[in-house]
Amino acid sequence: MRPMRICIIGSSRFPIREPFAGGLEAHTHALARRLSERGHEVTLFAAPGSDPTLGVEELAVEQLEPGTGERSDTSYPPHWWMQEHHAYQGLMLELMRRGHERFDVIHNNSIHHLPVAMADVLRIPMVTSLHTPPTPWLRSAMAHVSPRAVFVAVSRCTAEAWRGTVVSQAILNGVDTDRWVAGPGGGPAVWSGRLVPEKAPHLAIDAARRAGMPLLLAGPLLDEEYVAREVRPRLGDDVRHVGHLDQRALCALVGSARVAVVTPDWEEPYGLVAAEAMACGTPVAALDRGAMREVVLGGGGVLADPHDPAALARAMVTAAGMDRDVVRRTAVEHCSLERMVDSYEQVYRQALESPREAA
């Protein structure tokens, strides 16, 4: 098939590089890399400091400084909000002027509202991935979106959450099962991800102690107030935070664990850490929220009732006894990066074939 010139709009807040700030950044990196390996010409617009091997053009997130009068205006939004708005506004105006000369299709992989709001002024199609449940800013941008707009949700659960606003096709996120390789298991339980309230690592700590298992936490401390209140007081000899790890180190840690614990305290849109653990052969014990049941299939782990405080501990004990070869095979068959990229390529080509009026 003919290679495409693909523009990917990534995060302006966190660089697309290891160690990843979260699943969105890891997903963007893997998608851009694999599309390039397949022969497509990929340009990624993302935060300064992103991996230069991805063909990155940095978003201008540091160019707008508020004046004295603006700082004194009580209605002035947070500075980071204005920086993001300025960066995406500049990018969309540039794509409006010359995007059709450089690209065949745009993949909006950000969660900012401006790419969606301005998609109709472009002369080339845009595919937007929905990585979150409905948010006010994104819903507002979609209120007047063209019927030509193409939306992809990262799970059926997320697609259903957006159904009252837009119609979207579900393409489950994928992991590179050549990089996330099987490990020996047998070590302490592991929890990985951003240490923030909606990921609720404190619930993993409580469950691990109830199950009598030591636990290692890995990930960035992105909410210091939450960590100081709920996580640090729970640390001890049996529960440690090992830092924010790159993919190689995280794969080794997860692969050595007897069980991976996933504790979403919200409607998890996908749950990449569960798929990563399964690819390492490490069974998953997860709270049954959001898309967890789409990721943690029967051979990959055990789901726990989020309303039963003891259920997660029981799930950890049960999952720890599962066949690691079966867990790994489940990930290869259902959570692969190749399947995800195949599906996105098909969506891009369908978008290119749809008639589009000149802007």
Instruction: From 193, 262, 202, select the one nearest 234 (Cα to Cα).
Output: 202
C-alpha dihedral, 15 to 20 to 22 to 28, nearest 10°: 60
pLDDT for residue 276: 98
Is-contact 8 54, C-beta < 8 A?
no
Instruction: From 127, 9, 22, 89, select the one nearest 57 (Cα to Cα).
Output: 9
The segments of the chain whose pLDDT lies below 70 read 1, 62-80, 355-359
The rounded distance, in Å, linking the Cα atoms of 156 and 33 is: 25
Instruction: From 41, 15, 40, 38, select the one nearest 28 (Cα to Cα).
Output: 15
pLDDT for residue 356: 56
pTM of the predicted model over 0.85: yes
Domains of the chain: 5-174+337-353 (3.40.50.2000), 189-334 (3.40.50.2000)
pLDDT for residue 358: 42
The rounded distance, in Å, linking the Cα atoms of 242 and 257 is: 13
SS3 call for 220: coil
